[in-house]
Chains A and B, each alone.
Chain A
Amino acid sequence: MRVTALATLVGAALATTTGPALAVWHGYISHPLGFAFAAPGELKVEKGTYRGAVAGTRDTLVYRFVDDNIEYKAVVIDLTDNANDAATLLGEAEYNFQDGKKLLMDTFGRLDRQYGRKLTIDLANNGGRTTAGFYFINGRIVSLQATVLPANGDYESPEMARFVDSITFFTVRAPDDAIELPVPPK
């Protein structure tokens, strides 16, 4: 009996030391942009570029996290000057996301009175697997994208869906301790 208990404890300790450290997920919120989400790891704010035939070339604001070889990104594309073309701009972003890649899932995304899409693709050259949600709200495309990198290797990881599905456009749904996202760097 004592031997069994001891072996169980040793096994549990071993599993804890060899498994990846589970990062704490934090809530994040942007009151100016009108959305909130949850992510693990350290936040970095970056600027990027998005190009589409209809959208043209646009600066993007990227909130990025990396944890356990999974990259989490919240990408915001400001299209307020062309918001009346919302449906096509969103469709173009979704199309570009999967163009030339292996599409594994393409389904409705809907929450908080917003309709968008959720897609999963395999990246080219065994670059990993990305699940993304796309929405158009308040003149902006908001896209949450989680990529399981080859170094992680668990392409069935539930963390991708956890991140993408954490988005809310009703900021009252954000946890009380959600961290206010910083404004983009100039």
Chain B
Amino acid sequence: MHTRVLSTLAGVALTLAVMPAQADWRSYVNRELGFSFMAPGEIKAAVGTFRGAIAGPRQTIIYRSVEDNIEYKVTVTNFVQAAAEGATILGERQYMFQDGKKVLLDTFARVESGKDTVYGRKLVVDLPDNKGRATGVFYFTKGRLIALEATVLPTHGNFASPDPSRFVDSIAFALSRTESGAVEIKTPALE
């Protein structure tokens, strides 16, 4: 009996030791830009660039973390002066995300409800040369294009991981839905 209990405990300990550490997921909010999301790992802010044939060259704000060989990235691009072109700018961004890749999912995405609903799209693609699988959601609201992308890298291996969907589906534009205790993230200054 004792031997069986001991071996069970040893088995559990071994399992825990070889499993990847499960990082805590935390809520993040940027009240200035008007959205919140959840992600694991340490979020770092940076400034990036984006170029689209219609959107033109743009500086972007990026919030990024990597956890267990999955890269989580929120990208915000400001188009306040071109908000009326938002449908086409959003369509271009979605098109670029899947262009030349194997599309596994391309469907409606929407958050909030009633007159506050924000419509976008959710896509899943396999990256070329076995570089992983990327899940993205894309919205354009209040003059900003907001993209959440999670990429399962080959070193992770489980392309069916639920974590990318958990990340992209966590976006909220109604700040009243922000979890209490959410970490306030700052907006890095653009050049």
Contact = CB atoms under 8 A, between A and B. Distances in A.
A30 B71 CA distance: 48
B88 A136 contact: yes
Interface string B70-96: 000000000000011111111110110
Contacts of A90: 87, 119
Mostly helix, strand, loop or mixed at chain A's interface? mixed
Interface size class of B (residues with CB under 8 A): 20 to 34
B84 A115 contact: no
Interface size class of A (residues with CB under 8 A): 20 to 34
A91 B120 contact: yes
Contacts, number: 87
A87 interface: yes
A87 B90 contact: yes
B114 A53 contact: yes
B84 A139 contact: yes
Contacts of A108: 91, 94-95
Nearest to A79: B84
Nearest to A82: B84
A87 B107 contact: no
A108, A110, A137 — which one has the most chain B CB atoms within 10 A of its CB? A108
Contact of B84 (A53, A54, A86, A95): A86
Interface string A148-186: 000000000000000000000000000000000000000
13 contacts: A54-B115, A54-B119, A87-B86, A88-B117, A91-B120, A92-B119, A95-B110, A110-B95, A113-B53, A114-B91, A115-B54, A115-B88, A115-B94
Interface of B: 53-54, 83-92, 94-95, 106-108, 110, 113-121, 139-141, 143
Interface of A: 53-54, 56, 83-92, 94-95, 106-108, 110, 113-117, 135-137, 139
